Amino acid sequence: MICKQCGSILREGAAVCDQCGAEIVTPRTGTGTAARRQGRAPQPETEHIGSAAPEWTPVLRDTPVSRGQHRRRAEGAGRPSARRGMPPAPTTGKKMARRPREKVHPVHRMMVNWTLVCTVLAVLLVLALAGGFLFLKFTDQGQLILARMGKEANALAMWNYGQELLDQGYVDRSISTFEQAYEMEPEREDIYDRLQQLADAYEAGDRMADAERTYMTLIDLEPENPTAYLAVIRMMQNQSRQLELSSFLLTAYQNTGEVSFLRQREDLIPSTPTASIDAGTLLRERDVELLSAEDYEIYYMLDGEEELPENGVLYTEPIHLNEGTHVLRAVAVSNDLISDELNIKYTITLPKPAAPVTTLQPGEYESRRKVGLRYVETDDEKLSEDPKQKEITIYYTIDGQTPNSNSPIYHEGEPFLLPLGRCTVKAVAVNGYGKVSNVMERTFKVTKGRFESYFNNEDEFSEFTILKTTRDDFVKKFGNPLKEEEISESFMKGICVKLTYAWGEARFTMMTNGYTLYSVDTTLSSVTGPRKTKIGMDEKDVTAKFRDMEQAYDQNGDRSIYWDKDAGVSGKLYHLDDTHDRIDYIYTRQDNGVVTLSYYLENGKVNRLAIQCTY
């Protein structure tokens, strides 16, 4: 049933509309003005002339009207409604047109489907739970809520929750949360900022070692970022770690380019030592001095690679620089602070003297001539005030060998006599620094005059011959030895035999014809040496038998008699001590054996002869 005033569906058996409060009257059978006033019959809309009045069908009810409802209807029966009341229809003229009969909709009782209601509620609950799960799982705020609840959350939520704990003063819990977050995702894009949070927490918890380690990690991540350097510098200053700080400040400056780090370091450490001589090339030996502006101790190292200052030398006196290239390193030390290193390279290049010159032009001369040597100063030496550059010594030879510091020294104004035949004069000049000039070499030849030959393979003893005389022949000549024994020689192959006599010994080696003589050492005056030399002869008598270049004695008291590298021959007198000398003559055989003839002298006279062949 529908309310005619507001159009709302009415409850079954309702007398009043629940929405607008209008009274509900069920139409009764009948027509007329009274019926229309009471709402029992509709007002005619038009007049139907000559037609019968429309029939009205009352609304049927499923249930009887209650007594109360009947009473309310009776009370309002005589009161026309403002909505339904209408003036009486005219009775004259045309007949009123009747309104068409209204269609009455039946009212049906509605049943509640509790299964559907429960299903809808269950779906809504599942959707709510799913939404909550998605919110917690996939939103930053949801993850933060999980972190607060102590549940598993992502790294970002842990970092944010750790910061909340730190802001609230829960330092230890904050550190633990930060560490867990770092372990979960150590390579985040914002890890630099996150590790700064962790370092701040460590400092707040007075865990300075952990904080410094974290700052060092930040430096490794971004070496050019000065932020972490500043934190470490502050910590080192608070802990009075001055030595580490000086080194760290240098590293900070090198990595970031921040000049403030360098200036801070300069204010902290001692000044670098200075040297009295600038680096570079020097033409003479010098003494260099070191100076500390603050008068601190100085440790230095010359040409060393060890670290300073522990392995350095404490500077107490000027450092001498001789010829060569030197690297001087030094630092100033004040307690634990060490200055920057002074590193200077010096190259000492001492001037080399000029080569000597001869007073006689090289060439051929009929007679023996005297030759002098002299030294001509260079322009640099004339201008130099260094006495060592002007201190010149001339060493020379006339046997063809290159002179050295053991060769004869030429004394100014004492020319030497050229030997017979061809000779090569060589000389060098040496200054006070030991610098040696180039070798001066001049060849002379005295064409007239006779001189002896070198010792050679034709020179033999009259009683035996090296590498020819056998053991049996030798015993027949000199008798049975006092002792005979087998020996080994490094310069001879196989087993050798040595025969010992009262006057000396003889040695034999096995050859195709048996044991053959290769060495004799004797004091027998009856034995005649090569070129009729004998025991008891003077030194000059012996040297006169062989070629003699008449070279002077050298610095050791020795004298080169002759020397020819190409021919493989030489002769030399060795000064052994104040009373003993030895003369050796050597030649090389065609089979590369070397034969040595030796004269042993005592007080200038031969007292022993020896000859030996070695391979």
The confidence score (pLDDT) of residue 159 equals 95
Which range among 99-113, 222-236, 580-594 shows the weakest confidence by mean pLDDT?
99-113
pLDDT at 39 over 90: no
539 SS3 class? helix
Cα first-last separation, the chain: 151
Find the Cα–Cα–Cα–Cα dihedral 265, 266, 271, 274, rounded to 10°.
110
Considering the domain boundaries, does residue 451 fall inside one?
no
Strand partners, 364: 445
Of 536, 555, 537, 557, the C-alpha closest to 546 is 537
Residue 224 vs residue 75, higher pLDDT: 224
Considering the domain boundaries, does residue 564 fall inside one?
yes
Phi, psi of 147 (to 5 degrees): -60, -40
Give the pLDDT confidence of 5-33 residue by residue, as tens digits.
Answer: 777 777 777 777 877 777 776 655 445 55
Say how far apart CA 527 and CA 384 lie, in whole Å. Answer: 63
Considering the domain boundaries, does residue 248 fall inside one?
yes
What is the domain extent for residue 394? 357-446
Do 202 and 229 lie in one domain? The reply is: yes
Do 479 and 609 lie in one domain? The reply is: yes
Helix axes 155-167, 171-184, angle to 10 degrees: 170
pTM above 0.75, yes or no: no
Say how far apart CA 340 and CA 58 lie, in whole Å. Answer: 121
Do 127 and 76 lie in one domain? The reply is: no
Do 137 and 250 lie in one domain? The reply is: yes
pLDDT at 612 over 50: yes
Do 385 and 366 lie in one domain? The reply is: yes
Among residues 74, 107, 140, the one where a domain terminates is 107
The confidence score (pLDDT) of residue 85 equals 46
Do 514 and 601 lie in one domain? The reply is: yes
Do 82 and 152 lie in one domain? The reply is: no
For the chain, the average pLDDT equals 87
Considering the domain boundaries, does residue 275 fall inside one?
no
Do 128 and 264 lie in one domain? The reply is: yes
Q: In the structure encoding, which two tokens stand for residue 285, read together?
A: 């030996």
Using CA atoms, how far residue 290 sits from 294, 312, 317, 336, in Å, is: 12, 14, 9, 20
| Amino acid at position 12, single letter | E
Say how far apart CA 275 and CA 328 lie, in whole Å. Answer: 9
CB 459 within 8 A of CB 530: yes
| Amino acid at position 379, single letter | D
The confidence score (pLDDT) of residue 53 equals 44
- Tell me the pLDDT band of 351, cut-offs 50, 70 and 90: confident
Among residues 325, 348, 371, the one where a domain terminates is 348
Do 386 and 485 lie in one domain? The reply is: no
Do 237 and 291 lie in one domain? The reply is: no
Considering the domain boundaries, does residue 140 fall inside one?
yes
Among residues 107, 127, 152, the one where a domain terminates is 107
User: How many structural domains is the chain composed of?
Assistant: 5
Say how far apart CA 564 and CA 296 lie, in whole Å. Answer: 64
Strand partners, 330: 300, 342
Tell me the chain's radius of gyration from C-alpha atoms: 67
585 SS3 class? strand
Q: What is the CATH number of the domain that holds 375?
A: 2.60.40.10
Do 426 and 513 lie in one domain? The reply is: no
CB 396 within 8 A of CB 408: yes
The confidence score (pLDDT) of residue 109 equals 63
Considering the domain boundaries, does residue 153 fall inside one?
yes
Say how far apart CA 200 and CA 294 lie, in whole Å. Answer: 39
The confidence score (pLDDT) of residue 82 equals 46
The confidence score (pLDDT) of residue 49 equals 41
> DSSP letters along 330-390, please?
EEEEETTEEPPPEEEEEEE-PPPPPPPEESS-SEEESS--EE-EE----HHHHH---HHHH
Considering the domain boundaries, does residue 292 fall inside one?
yes
Considering the domain boundaries, does residue 455 fall inside one?
no
The confidence score (pLDDT) of residue 108 equals 59
- Tell me the pLDDT band of 76, cut-offs 50, 70 and 90: low
pLDDT at 426 over 70: yes
The confidence score (pLDDT) of residue 61 equals 47
Give the pLDDT confidence of 535-575 residue by residue, as tens digits.
Answer: 999 999 999 999 999 999 999 999 999 999 999 999 999 99
Do 321 and 200 lie in one domain? The reply is: no
Q: What is the CATH number of the domain that holds 152?
A: 1.25.40.10
